[in-house]
Structure 1
Amino acid sequence: MVCCDRCGEWFHPRCIKLTINEVKMLDRYTCDECTTEMLKAKNRYDPEMNTKVQIDLWNGIQVKKD
């Protein structure tokens, strides 16, 4: 059995398309559901963050002008 390091769910190697030898070589495993969740979180648009970056860039431009 293989345990997801993120959610703690257990999987049969065959169900996640891994051989026993591949499982033995794993240091860490993240299941498909957790991987998808992490990618969604990474790609989520945050307008507040965008505004902060624009302000930081503007401030950087202002500092260089002075």
Structure 2
Amino acid sequence: FSYKWAEVLAADAYDFVKSNGGIGSKASLDFMHYILEVGGSLDFMDQYIEFRGKAPSVAALLKSNKIDNCGI
């Protein structure tokens, strides 16, 4: 289960950064600042929400696997 959750997080973050300018964009710099720089020193979900502006969604993972997200 934890591996699938990691896939959800990775797909959601990737989709967000890609949709907001890709590498070098503010979104990618925010990912570095809120996720990579703090490591495990702060609560991950709080940091993810700071980066993304909302909790992660499975929609990006479903999209990347070409599965209809059924309105998610």
TM-score clears 0.5: no
TM-score normalised to structure 2 length: 0.29
Q: Which has the larger radius of gyration?
A: 1
Which structure shows the bigger proportion of residues in strand conformation?
1
Higher relative contact order (CA 8 A, sep 6+): 2
Instruction: Name the TM-score, length of structure 1 as normaliser.
Output: 0.31
